[in-house]
Chains A and B, each alone.
Chain A
Amino acid sequence: MRHVLALMKKEFLQLQRDPRLIGYIIMAPVVLLILFGLALKLEPENVKMAYVDRDQSMFSELIKTNIWNEGYFQLYEVADEAAIIRDIRDGRARAGLYIDGNFSAELTDNKQPTVHMYVDGTMPSLATAMDNKKAAITDDKVSSQMYFLEPDSENITIAPEPFLLDMQILFNPEKRETWFFLPGVIGVLIMQVALILTGTAIVREKENNTLEQLIVSPITRIEFILGKILPYVLIAFADFYFILALGWLLFDLPMPASHMSLFGLGLVYVSGLIALGLVISTLSQTQQQAIFLSIFVLIPSILLSGFIFPIEAMPTYIQPVAYLLPFTYFVEIIRGLLIKGSDLAVLVPAYAALAGFAAVFIAISIIRFRKTLG
């Protein structure tokens, strides 16, 4: 243990002597979080909406006017329903509106016709925004004018709402919110700090020739690995809460129901990544190689973890890759904790997976770090 403390002290001294690196550890997450936060939060304006109005009645006109008046959408007419989908797919429109030919007829018959809306799911914030607008479109102002139709017919039971609005999210059936991304962003930032810091931790000793001195010393492999892991676990863990705090302050990130669960998540996730960083370090001869390998882990983590695209939507032969990435479980847990308010019991397997990764990576780094060079 004394050896571990000596190593830890040395690591901290080395870090302390590299003020620029400390700057990166603090500033990179701030800049990136704000960037991501803003990019994913911006309220869309002037959203183009392609519409087809087969009804051409005063009622359909009323709906369109109401949408216009929201000051949010710009409507333009297209030929048919297929054209709506096509325009959204090609990015000419972000939303669509389809009013069927017998809308007013059904309305007057009190048959509760449906108006169809389409939203481009690849703009996550739009889907959320549309959800909020939905109420405005079907609100009393419109509805009351439609109830007017046959005020005296007593033998007709009036439906609670004169018409229904069916909103279909295209290309991204799972509805996304700003928050949907932000917790994942935290995980990405931690991953960057953890992998790069530790990825180079052993390599630096190789490049300094100091590894030989450690090898001839009586330090054991376990002491060595612990002395390397612990300082960086502390740093990355502090960074985890630092970034969370920024999210809470700047982006109204929800609080978790259980702070203990969040703490536990931070601990297993950070330990796993730091250990993975060490594995990378034992595999690398130069710092360049270590950074290359770190990025090699980082990119699939971002793309294949369900952070951006839902895992279910990925081809089945790719899906196993997602389950080999610690980040996948992190995303699942942190979304569960901060957004969905999931029951802890549901998240237990994901916690177990993260803890398993941490244990395996630590074991691999201890095995890989031999006390000889050849």
Chain B
Amino acid sequence: MTGIIETEGVTKRFAGVPAVDGVSLSVSSGEIFGLLGPNAAGKSTMIRLLAGILNIDGGSARVLGHDLVIEREKIKSEIGYVAQSFALYPELTVAENLEFYSAIYTPISREKQQLLLKQFGLQRFAAQRAGLLSGGYKRRLSIACALAHDPQLIFLDEPTAGIDPVTRRELWERFYELAALGKTLFVTTHYMEEAERCNRLAFLHRGRVVAEGTLATIISSFTGHSVYSVASAHNAALAAGLLAMPEVLLLNQFGDRLRVITDSSLTPESLQRVVRRHCDAAIELVEPDIEDVFMALTHERGRK
């Protein structure tokens, strides 16, 4: 099966400044593909390019087998798009929003609309104006609206931002159901735990892909670095001392543990020495996790 999305050097500039810079990606059918990256990395821009909202400045892309530039209109009825910001008509009720969004594609029956509302826990709000829903329910409605026409490929731009963990889990259940039905999901997120839920990932940084693959391959290809856990609560002097070492890349405090990402040339002994100067904490070499990789990849390039 060829890729549902195949991009080759896709570039988008705003006023000459690239927001997406030579991105080549491949997403295959039935997978949940995660696009990660810090703020302003170009995630939303990438999605809007692939959904045909923005025009590509350079490179080429095929979506669902159609050329994104030439055959844009052919793609439209087959894709769903959930924007990062809510795109609902606040004056219309929940049911009316869903009805409208289905009507501008191939209208679906009332029963199907009811079913969608039910799947997203929205039935009891059906007659309520969309503008009055809470943020989480607006998000559910946005997703339901984007699914109304049963698209093959669904773009979800931070679908779980600002969503409580229970709802987030529920949404992911839905995503898995969709993927099981053979739909392809293209998701952006800031949550590392969600990155782990994706089949494949790409890290975007300043418009460029800095890592791509499954979670395991991305972590295993994270060579040249070591991650230590220091059993110390926040300690400004310690942090300053560590950052003064040229081999220390960055620090990440988690409660009473400090994670230290270093160049692998740094020996545990020399790290221990510096730590001792400030406190009597034990250090431990740990496996890098996705967040370490994410931080290191985006940080490293930020320093250069």
**Chain B residues touching A, range:** 20 to 34
Known: A6-B104, A374-B54. A216 touches B81 (CB 8 A): yes
B85 located at the interface, meaning its Cβ lies under 8 Å from any Cβ of chain A in the complex: yes
Taking a contact as CB atoms under 8 Å apart, the answer to whether B83 and A209 are in contact is yes
Taking a contact as CB atoms under 8 Å apart, the answer to whether A7 and B87 are in contact is no
**What residue of chain A has the Cβ atom nearest to residue B142's Cβ?**
A213
**What residue of chain A has the Cβ atom nearest to residue B54's Cβ?**
A374
**Chain A residues touching B, range:** 20 to 34
Taking a contact as CB atoms under 8 Å apart, the answer to whether B87 and A14 are in contact is no
CA distance A317 to B129 in the complex (A): 53
User: Which B residues are CB-close (under 8 A) to A10?
Assistant: 89, 92, 96, 100
CA distance A13 to B88 in the complex (A): 14
CB under 8 Å from chain B, chain A span 1-24: 2-3, 5-7, 9-10, 13-14, 17-18
Taking a contact as CB atoms under 8 Å apart, the answer to whether A372 and B54 are in contact is yes
Of A7, A215, A219, the contact of B52 (CB 8 Å cutoff): A215
A212 located at the interface, meaning its Cβ lies under 8 Å from any Cβ of chain B in the complex: yes
CA distance A338 to B14 in the complex (A): 55
SS class, residues of chain A in contact with chain B: helix
User: Which B residues are CB-close (under 8 A) to A218?
Assistant: 73, 76-77, 104-105
Kindly supply a per-residue 1/0 record for chain B positions 191-207, scoring 1 wherever the CB is within 8 Å of any chain A CB and 0 otherwise. 00000000000000000
Taking a contact as CB atoms under 8 Å apart, the answer to whether A217 and B91 are in contact is no
CB under 8 Å from chain B, chain A span 209-247: 209-210, 212-219
Kindly supply a per-residue 1/0 record for chain B positions 101-131, scoring 1 wherever the CB is within 8 Å of any chain A CB and 0 otherwise. 1011101000000000000000000000100
SS class, residues of chain B in contact with chain A: loop
User: Which B residues are CB-close (under 8 A) to A14?
Assistant: 89, 91-92
Taking a contact as CB atoms under 8 Å apart, the answer to whether A213 and B87 are in contact is yes
Taking a contact as CB atoms under 8 Å apart, the answer to whether B52 and A13 are in contact is no
Kindly supply a per-residue 1/0 record for chain B positions 27-50, scoring 1 wherever the CB is within 8 Å of any chain A CB and 0 otherwise. 000000000000000000000100
Taking a contact as CB atoms under 8 Å apart, the answer to whether B89 and A216 are in contact is no
User: Which A residues are CB-close (under 8 A) to B70?
Assistant: none
CB under 8 Å from chain B, chain A span 121-140: none
Taking a contact as CB atoms under 8 Å apart, the answer to whether B88 and A208 are in contact is yes
CA distance A209 to B88 in the complex (A): 8
User: Which A residues are CB-close (under 8 A) to B87?
Assistant: 208-210, 212-213
Of B54, B72, B91, B101, the contact of A13 (CB 8 Å cutoff): B91
**What residue of chain A has the Cβ atom nearest to residue B86's Cβ?**
A209
A156 located at the interface, meaning its Cβ lies under 8 Å from any Cβ of chain B in the complex: no
A373 located at the interface, meaning its Cβ lies under 8 Å from any Cβ of chain B in the complex: yes
User: Which B residues are CB-close (under 8 A) to A373?
Assistant: 48, 53-54
Taking a contact as CB atoms under 8 Å apart, the answer to whether B105 and A217 are in contact is yes
B55 located at the interface, meaning its Cβ lies under 8 Å from any Cβ of chain A in the complex: yes
CA distance A18 to B96 in the complex (A): 16
B20 located at the interface, meaning its Cβ lies under 8 Å from any Cβ of chain A in the complex: no
CA distance A7 to B92 in the complex (A): 13
Kindly supply a per-residue 1/0 record for chain B positions 48-91, scoring 1 wherever the CB is within 8 Å of any chain A CB and 0 otherwise. 10011111000000000000000011001101010101111111
Taking a contact as CB atoms under 8 Å apart, the answer to whether B83 and A13 are in contact is no
Which 7 residue pairs across A and B have the least CB separation, nearest first? A6-B103, A17-B91, A209-B87, A218-B76, A216-B81, A218-B77, A213-B87
